[in-house]
A = this chain, B = another copy of it.
Amino acid sequence: MRVLGLDPGLRHTGWGIIDVFGNRLVHVADGVIHPAADQPLAARLVSLFRQITAVVESFRPDEAAVEETFVNRNPSSTLRLGVARGVVLLAPAECGLPVAEYSANFIKKAVVGAGHAEKSQVQLMVRRLLPGCDGGEPDAADALAVAICHAHHATAQRLLGAQG
């Protein structure tokens, strides 16, 4: 199974692709999308949508997982996060992929073992769990962590399904 992880943001959206062979995870690719900040909002969303679609078309993942957006205390920041999240959820679904969502704490627990881990700990564990991956930019490492979380969760669900 090939998984696309996505960490949504209007200024930076991280993406990461991993292959899952049972318990073994293999790093495929990662990157960060930076829609031009000087353009109108609708144009930035088009750029975000097309770049995610291009990643899906290049690497053909089977499933996608998105980090649930942090609800900020500032309502306008929350609204902007929501706008980016709408497009990040839409793009893989429009390509026909099932899209799962996980909270930031759930992802940290799955990858580091603690729900309130530091960003640097997440990057370190991503490098350890994906040999050969240098961890990339911080937003890309977060996206790889989402993919790892989904791989563990989906494998566990399949094992539970086989038992039941």
Contact = CB atoms under 8 A, between A and B. Distances in A.
A68 to B, nearest CB: 9
The A interface is mostly helix, strand or loop, or mixed, namely helix
A84 B72 CA distance: 18
Count identical subunits in the complex. 2
Contacts of A92: 42
Given A45-B89, A94-B49, A75 B71 contact: yes
A99 B69 contact: no
A89 B78 CA distance: 17
- Which residue, of A71, A81, A83, A94, has the highest number of chain B Cβ atoms within 10 A? A83
Contact of A99 (B42, B78, B101): B42
A115 interface: no
Contacts of A42: 89-90, 92-93, 99
Interface string A57-97: 00000000000010111011011111111110110111000
Interface of A: 40-43, 45-46, 49, 69, 71-73, 75-76, 78-87, 89-90, 92-94, 99, 101
5 nearest interchain CB pairs? A82-B82, A86-B86, A42-B93, A83-B86, A42-B99
